[in-house]
Amino acid sequence: MAEPMIDAALRHNHSVIQASILHCLGHQVDSQPEFVRPKLEEFLRRVDLQTELREYALQCKTGNIQ
């Protein structure tokens, strides 16, 4: 995975960009947990997340994404 691009997308101001990269990470959570889980945990520590985006990130941690 292109870590700098993923980090930049997770820090982006637009929730659509963030949701897109969360979706990608959600597909990789089982095959690359040592990479994906810390990224999701770091994202979830943000205090400025919209409720819907936080819930989606939590869903991505399970790999059960839509």
C-alpha dihedral sign at 5, 7, 12, 16:
positive
Say how far apart CA 40 and CA 54 lie, in whole Å: 10
Could you tell me the pLDDT band of residue 2, with boundaries at 50, 70 and 90? confident
Quick check: pTM over 0.95?
no
For residue range 25-66, list pLDDT tens digits in order: 999 999 999 999 999 999 999 999 999 999 999 999 999 887
Question: How remote is the C-alpha of 12 from its chain's centroid?
Answer: 12
38/23 Cα distance (integer angstroms): 15
What stretch of H or E contains 57? Answer: helix 51-62
